[in-house]
Chain A
Amino acid sequence: MIPIVHKNTCTGCGNCAEVCPPQAISLLDEKAHIEADFCEECGFCAAECPVEAISIPFPLSDE
């Protein structure tokens, strides 16, 4: 699952980019931007973010 960046919360600190194994994250207009083609969906960025601006869209069932 490709993580979602919540632009309003993102402070543009760049910590996520530093832990991204395939270097798929860059800062665009001072916000984290994940390049989907290179994202390997590891979730490191979400775990690293100090302000919880990145989340993993873990699905719920239809029940």
Chain B
Amino acid sequence: MEKYPHIFQKGRIGKIGTKNRIKYAATETNFPFSDGYVSDKEVAYMEAQARGGAGVVTTQGAYPDKRGEGKGFMGMMAICDDRFIPGLARIADVIRQNGALSSLQILHCGREGGVELDYCLMPSVVPQKLSYFKPPRVITKDEIKEAVKDHIDAARRAQDAGFDMIELSGIVGYLISTFISRYTNKRTDEYGGDLRKRCKLMIEIIQGVKAQVGDMPVGIRLCGHELLDDRGGNTMEESVESFKIAEEAGADYVSVTVGWHESSQSVITRDVPMGHWLYVAEAVKKRVNIAVMMAFRQFLPHIPEKAIASGQIDFWEVCRPMIADPELPQKAREGREDEIIPCIACNLCFSRLYYHQPIMCSVRPTLGHEGEKSWGYYGFPRIEKKKKIVIVGGGPAGLQCAATVAEKGHSVTLFEKNSQLGGNILLASKVDDGAIELLRPIKTLETLCQKAGVEFRLGVECTPDMLKEEHADTAVIATGSIIRTLSQGILTPHDVVGEEKNPGRRVVIIGGNGVGLGIAVFLLRHSDYQLTVIEESGRVGRDVNPFYLWQYMGLMKTKKVVFLTRTRVSGIEGTLVRVSGPSGEKMIETDSIIMALLEPAKNRWETVQDIAREIYFIGDAKKPRRINNAIHDGYRLGMVL
């Protein structure tokens, strides 16, 4: 019997049937060219998504207007002219050829648009909370008519390109959502006022598109709960009602989303429990009689399975978990959940979009390289000469390298000094609520290594001499970093987080990067401390993703953590730490000192000659950085061995 009978049952959207209840959700990638044309990279990525087994595959949002007011990302796909149809058709083709239905999303970014302009269009001028976005200008009535027509023309092009469905997007601050929300729509004409009036733009677009495309299903993504109470946004009741209005206007399916980019609470980070937002979808489902879908932190298949069974949703939309592993549907169906490369909600992908860079994935280095054979997304060719490869260190870098080279057919031995795999991730997984999810990719890599025949030597600290005795063709050093030493009696991250040694009430943390801040968060979540963080550069948390940094800084502000930037420790005398900074030298009295500055372990190994025919350093052993660097280092080395 199938483990997920509800996910893998047939479904229906408008007049067409789907093979299952999984829909790859629209995701911007920045893979297309900056002039809006589809690139080979985007086509290869969409092909991977279609081959992964989802019933419906949605394209990234394409902007419908020629001036680029709707364009919110440098590499956003365009559908504002007939000349884009051939490129879009390539995407429709690869989706169809791989047995999925295709939905093209039309997206006018509204408040978040005009990426190459010096303004954005909005129903009313409401200043940006996020300084990244462009100053708003009021959209005129003529321009509203033009926007409606742009959406209709875009739908016609999507139909010509061979797509099966159209999706409209009205979420997070995009044009349609700014009309629906009370926060951003202060108009006094027929497009503003009560909810129904604020929905007028949406109604006109849905009706116009429906009239254009005939029987083709048309869906819309709307916000079910804006989380903008602090800024005068819609109530949840109003938001839910907007779905009903969309249904009445002719929508064939709705996708329920939560939060705006300006919401001041977490929505998609690890501290939000999986499945948390399903109550919003359920409220919509009770109100409408068309297919209801949701993405949002449903990372494990048993969550949507239950949600579909209990009538909260009809379709499971998958966004980040399928960026991390497009084969998620297929693996879930075949009972290979332990091989699914798990999204860790680090939001590296998401944040990159706003820095004009193509998305990247911490746990899947092949993202964006699906079409390049050398990257091995569909597997590597069997190697000609089998090598004996010894890897020292079972953290993310070592494990990823081991899994990759073992799958290629090499003989692989991996040493790990602890009895448990994971390296520094074992510590990171304890720092904050939800951080335990960081252990998921470790578990997957362990499984992949086991299936590929990696020999694990756990609890064995491999020294340079021992390594030499292995007579390896290739040695890979992935031992992680070493803690900088300053004087005796200083605690390490391992002491505090791993062994839970309690520091005194007054604590000085040396180093304000991710490690130092992680320790601060860990301590503050457990008890009250008087913390001082000393950072040599002018800024703390440079290597913490913005999605998490604002939460951490908020916590530290509340707990009155003192940050001393452009400051270094010049000496330690008993309970006194001597620091020198912009305002000269001073002494800080403290009960405990924690060292959070790391150094590469490389030096220790470079002094020994002839360890192996070739020797490589990856991860923190090469240079202390983050989990994405460790995994990418391991994979990239594995590719060429």
B-binding residues in A (CB < 8 A): 1, 17-23, 38, 40-44, 46-47, 56, 58-61, 63
The residues of A that contact B623 with a CB separation of less than 8 Å are 22-23, 38
Cβ distance A39 to chain B, nearest Cβ, rounded Å: 11
Which residues B422-456 have CB closer than 8 A to chain A?
none
Q: Which residue of A lies closest to B536 (CB)?
A: A18
B37 within 8 A of A: yes
The residues of A that contact B75 with a CB separation of less than 8 Å are 58
Partner of B74, one of A23, A42, A58, A61: A58
B356 within 8 A of A: yes
Cβ distance A26 to chain B, nearest Cβ, rounded Å: 12
Pairwise interchain contact A61-B357, C-beta atoms closer than 8 A: no
> A1-B357, A22-B543, A58-B75 given as contacts; is B628 within 8 A of A40 (CB)?
yes
Pairwise interchain contact B34-A21, C-beta atoms closer than 8 A: no
> A22-B625, A22-B629, A40-B629 given as contacts; is B542 within 8 A of A58 (CB)?
no
User: Dominant SS at the B interface?
Assistant: loop
Residues 340-368 of chain B: 1 if any A CB is under 8 Å from the residue's CB, otherwise 0?
00000000000110011110100000000
Partner of B538, one of A18, A41, A43, A63: A18
Q: How large is the interface on B (under 10, 10 to 19, 20 to 34, 35 or more residues)?
A: 20 to 34
Cβ distance B631 to chain A, nearest Cβ, rounded Å: 12
Pairwise interchain contact B33-A60, C-beta atoms closer than 8 A: yes
The residues of A that contact B34 with a CB separation of less than 8 Å are 58-60
Task: A43 to B351: give the CA distance in the assembly, Å.
Answer: 10
B67 within 8 A of A: no
A-binding residues in B (CB < 8 A): 33-35, 37, 39, 74-75, 83, 351-352, 355-358, 360, 537-539, 542-543, 623, 625-626, 628-629, 632
Pairwise interchain contact A18-B543, C-beta atoms closer than 8 A: no
Pairwise interchain contact B537-A42, C-beta atoms closer than 8 A: no
Partner of A56, one of B39, B351, B356: B356
Cβ distance A37 to chain B, nearest Cβ, rounded Å: 9
Task: A58 to B74: give the CA distance in the assembly, Å.
Answer: 8
Partner of A21, one of B33, B35, B358, B626: B626
Task: A30 to B188: give the CA distance in the assembly, Å.
Answer: 56
The residues of A that contact B83 with a CB separation of less than 8 Å are 63
Task: A47 to B542: give the CA distance in the assembly, Å.
Answer: 14
**4 other contacts beyond A43-B352, A47-B355, with CB at 8 A cut-off?**
A21-B543, A22-B623, A38-B623, A40-B360
**When A and B form their complex, which 3 residue pairs have the shortest distance between CB atoms, in order from nearest?**
A43-B355, A61-B37, A61-B33
Q: Which residue of B lies closest to A19 (CB)?
A: B542
Q: Which residue of A lies closest to B351 (CB)?
A: A42
Partner of A44, one of B37, B39, B355: B355
Task: A17 to B543: give the CA distance in the assembly, Å.
Answer: 12
The residues of A that contact B543 with a CB separation of less than 8 Å are 21-22
Partner of A61, one of B35, B358, B626, B629: B35
Pairwise interchain contact B358-A1, C-beta atoms closer than 8 A: yes
Pairwise interchain contact A46-B539, C-beta atoms closer than 8 A: no
The residues of B that contact A38 with a CB separation of less than 8 Å are 623, 625
Cβ distance A22 to chain B, nearest Cβ, rounded Å: 5
Cβ distance A41 to chain B, nearest Cβ, rounded Å: 6
Partner of B355, one of A18, A20, A46, A63: A46
Q: Which residue of A lies closest to B357 (CB)?
A: A43
Q: Which residue of B lies closest to A43 (CB)?
A: B355
Q: Which residue of B lies closest to A35 (CB)?
A: B623
The residues of A that contact B539 with a CB separation of less than 8 Å are 18-19
Pairwise interchain contact A42-B542, C-beta atoms closer than 8 A: no
Task: A38 to B355: give the CA distance in the assembly, Å.
Answer: 18
Pairwise interchain contact A20-B629, C-beta atoms closer than 8 A: no
Q: Which of B39, B356, B358, B360 has the most CB of A within 10 A?
A: B356
Cβ distance B512 to chain A, nearest Cβ, rounded Å: 11
Task: A21 to B34: give the CA distance in the assembly, Å.
Answer: 25
The residues of B that contact A58 with a CB separation of less than 8 Å are 34, 74-75, 356
Give 17 A-B contacts (CB < 8 Å), ordered by A residue: A1-B357, A1-B358, A18-B537, A19-B542, A21-B542, A22-B626, A22-B629, A42-B355, A43-B352, A43-B356, A43-B357, A46-B355, A46-B356, A56-B357, A58-B34, A60-B34, A61-B37
The residues of A that contact B37 with a CB separation of less than 8 Å are 61, 63
Task: A40 to B351: give the CA distance in the assembly, Å.
Answer: 13
> A1-B358, A41-B360 given as contacts; is B35 within 8 A of A60 (CB)?
yes
Cβ distance B487 to chain A, nearest Cβ, rounded Å: 25
Q: Which residue of B lies closest to A38 (CB)?
A: B623
Task: A56 to B355: give the CA distance in the assembly, Å.
Answer: 9
The residues of B that contact A63 with a CB separation of less than 8 Å are 35, 37, 83
Cβ distance A43 to chain B, nearest Cβ, rounded Å: 3
Task: A47 to B354: give the CA distance in the assembly, Å.
Answer: 9
